[in-house]
Amino acid sequence: MPASPDQPFTTEDVLDVLGTAADYAAVAAMRELPEALIFVFDRDLRFLVTAGQAFERMGKPSAYGEGQFVAGAFPAEVWSVVEPLFRSALEGETRTRELWTDEQRHCLMVDAGPLRLNGPDGRPDAQVVAGGVAMVLDITARRQADLLAGRHPSAGFEEVFERAPVGSGLLDRDGRWLLVNRALCEITGYTSDELIGKRFDGIIHPDDAFNDREQRRRLLAGEIPAFQIEKRYFDAAGETVSAIVSMSLVRDEHGAPLHYIAQLQDVSERKDLEEHLLHLADHDELTGLRNRRLFEHDLKLQVARAQRYGEVAGLMILDLDNFTHINDLHGERAGDETLAAVARALTRRLRETDLIARLGGDEFAVLLPHVDEEGIAVVAEGMERVIPACTIDVGDDVLHPSATIGYTLIDAHTESAEQALVDAERTLRAARRSTPRRLP
């Protein structure tokens, strides 16, 4: 360490002042701070050690390298204000100043104090100032929030804003939260401290981050006063939530954009209900399998793929034997249990890619993608063994259902989905004639 401030002051000297390896780790951690810049400078106002990233928004990162003049890292209008703070630090004083950068884009809090050399006892010598330590903190979000709240009567705006039942917040032009109300915190699960200063896009599902790009462009251009769009976001627990986002823009007296007003309405319950209703519309309520409407839609798509790309698939129709006899003899409940048991057996036996449906009554259908005629025959034989293995308790008796099966191949020559069903039904009737139905 130099004996006096007149001798050269190096990075090693700085580290000696900072002290232990734990301090070095702290310096390394500070390099990741997104909103702050911390640096040590010598008596010639040159950088010795820097940590943090905030000033990279305002200048060139290379301007903060060791040996560079501190003045070169600041815009001229900022340097004229903060230079006296650094000069005072070299005189042993600690001073703090807040200032706005050009066009009110960033508010900075600058704190500068002396860096003293260690004396013979290892403690800082009050008489020897070797340089200074400065911290520059970006407090833009906090100050903009204060300014916005100050523009409105505190007894009116703040209370109405805070108690609004819809999640509401103000965003700056960069999309960072300036103010948030209680409802918005409840919807997202975040506290106001966690949201203020953070980007709105930071919690949005990646697939929805830019689904309003065109609307925002038109809003900024003044072509529309506001817009609504549905977005998914991640709440504080990491769950995906659906919301309707309403966005408008506040401008100053000259028409320049000031900030966005965003409102979020949680529609997750509505989405869940819509999905449930859609499932009911497309699936059989008793078995949970596809219904005829959805299955015929899937079948049409498969026929189209076969005609266009040459895909080959199988279509299988299963008709339970003597199902009317089960209902008449044991009641509709036994019939329902039989249908549910067969549905479970089909689901367990077939592949996840196979599409299973209850066409109605006691008739089931299976669409088998990427299978040839030999493969269909093997699956049919398996079904003839699996279905009778089902057991349905009916009092003191146990039923073992059986089914007659017909199938056809879907390929480039298949004319239509309707024709495929007709062909499968034809083979089903032929199988029924050749094998008498047995009682379960």
**Tens digit of pLDDT for each residue in 58-79?**
445 566 777 889 888 888 888 8
pLDDT of the residue at 356: 93
113 versus 343: which is more confidently predicted? Answer: 343
- Please compute the mean of the pLDDT values over residues 144-153 and round it to a whole number: 54
Q: Say whether pLDDT at 427 is over 70.
A: yes
- Which pLDDT score, from 0 to 100, does residue 239 have? 86
Distance, in Å, from the CA atom of 92 to the CA atom of 17, rounded to the nearest integer, reads 16
Q: How many CB atoms lie within 10 A of CB 229?
A: 14
Sequence ranges of the chain with CATH classification 3.30.450.20 = 11-138, 143-270
Average pLDDT, the chain: 79
- Specify the pLDDT at position 180: 87
Q: What percent of the chain has pLDDT over 90?
A: 23
Residue 254: the pLDDT is 74
Mean pLDDT of 273-280: 60
204 pLDDT more than 60 = yes
**For residue 67, what pLDDT is reported?**
82
The region of weakest confidence among 129-133, 317-321, 381-385 is 129-133
Enter the DSSP assignment of 420. H
Residue 158: which pLDDT band, with cuts at 50, 70 and 90? Answer: low
For 13-46, what is each residue's pLDDT tens digit?
544 544 433 344 444 444 444 456 778 888 899 9
Q: What is the tens place of the pLDDT at every residue in 372-400?
A: 989 999 999 999 899 999 988 887 788 88
Residue labelled with tokens 């089902």: 390
Question: Where in the chain is CATH 3.30.70.270?
Answer: 283-434
* Structure confidence at residue 2 (pLDDT): 45
CATH code assigned to 11-138 = 3.30.450.20
Task: Assign domain 283-434 to its CATH superfamily.
Answer: Reverse transcriptase/Diguanylate cyclase domain (3.30.70.270)
Confidence at residue 329, expressed as pLDDT on a 0 to 100 scale: 85
For the residues of 201-254, what is the DSSP string, one character each? GGGB-GGGTTTTHHHHHHHHTTS-SEEEEEEEEE-TTS-EEEEEEEEEEEE-TT
More confident residue, 123 or 328: 328
Least confident of 251-260, 284-293, 430-439: 430-439
pLDDT of residue 436: 57
**Fold of the CATH domain 143-270:** Beta-Lactamase (3.30.450)
Give the model's pLDDT for residue 422.
94
Residue type, 184: L
pLDDT band of 11, cuts 50, 70, 90: very low
Distance CA 129, CA 114 (A): 6
pTM greater than 0.75: no
Query: How many CB atoms neighbour CB 204 within 10 A?
Result: 19
CA distances from 189 to 241, 245, 280, 299 (A): 11, 16, 32, 44
Would you call 40 helix, strand, or coil by DSSP? Answer: strand
